């Protein structure tokens, strides 16, 4: 008797990086500049439920996720200050540092660089751009800012709005 499998196949890849940030307006110590050893988990599925796995039996090759998303993280967030674009006082203070202490400009985000906002940025902006045309969709991002704290951002991978981002 053959068993019909109808679930959605997916896979996930972790990526590690170090970054600094501060949360403007925070009432506690997170208002100060500080750093994290971050980890993101990227969850991927095929664009269409009926597609299943590719000819090799994969949703996507893990090395391709590292090559595309990992490279973006390395280029833009790893060992970088991630700041709210409205945090002009901190941005100006960083510009006054010697060149060897600020080899990378800060990455400026719309809103505070919280784990929630960083997960959302990866899910809705970065992943569609770097994985476009590969036949896969990132439907969930876990952003671990420490081994104790993480944010999760998810979407419906089969909604027309999401699919349009990946075509």
20: Cα separation from own chain's centroid: 15
Strand locations in the chain, DSSP E?
Answer: 10-21, 34-46, 80-84, 107-109, 136-144, 150-154
Is residue 79 part of the annotated active site? The answer reads: yes
Catalytic residue flag (residue 145): yes
The residue annotated as part of the active site, out of 21, 127, 142, 145, is 145
Q: Is residue 39 annotated as a catalytic residue, yes or no?
A: no
Residue among 143, 140, 5, 11 nearest 73 (CA):
143
The active-site residue out of 79, 95, 110, 154 is 79
d(CA 155, CA 153): 7
Q: How many residues does the chain have?
A: 167
Query: What CA–CA distances, in Å, run from 86 to 24, 89, 91, 104?
Result: 9, 9, 9, 18
Task: State the catalytic residue, choosing from 9, 11, 30, 76.
Answer: 30
Q: Minimal CA–CA distance to 42: which of 56, 62, 20?
A: 62
Q: Which residues are catalytic?
A: 30, 79, 145
């Amino acid at each position: 008797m053959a068993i019909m499998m109808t679930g959605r196949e997916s896979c996930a890849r972790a990526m590690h990086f170090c970054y600094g940030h501060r949360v403007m307006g925070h009432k506690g110590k997170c208002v100060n500049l500080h750093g994290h050893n971050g980890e993101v988990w990227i969850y991927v599925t095929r664009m269409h439920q009926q597609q299943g796995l590719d000819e090799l039996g994969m949703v996507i090759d893990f090395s391709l996720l590292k090559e595309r998303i990992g490279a973006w993280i390395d280029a833009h967030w790893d060992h970088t200050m991630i700041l709210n674009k409205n945090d002009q006082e901190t941005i100006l203070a960083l510009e006054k540092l010697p060149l060897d202490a600020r080899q990378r400009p800060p990455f400026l985000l719309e809103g505070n660089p919280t784990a929630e906002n960083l997960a959302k940025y990866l899910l809705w902006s970065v992943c569609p751009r770097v994985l476009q045309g590969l036949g896969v969709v990132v439907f969930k991002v876990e952003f671990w800012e420490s081994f104790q704290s993480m944010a999760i951002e998810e979407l419906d991978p089969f909604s027309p709005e999401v699919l349009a981002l990946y075509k």
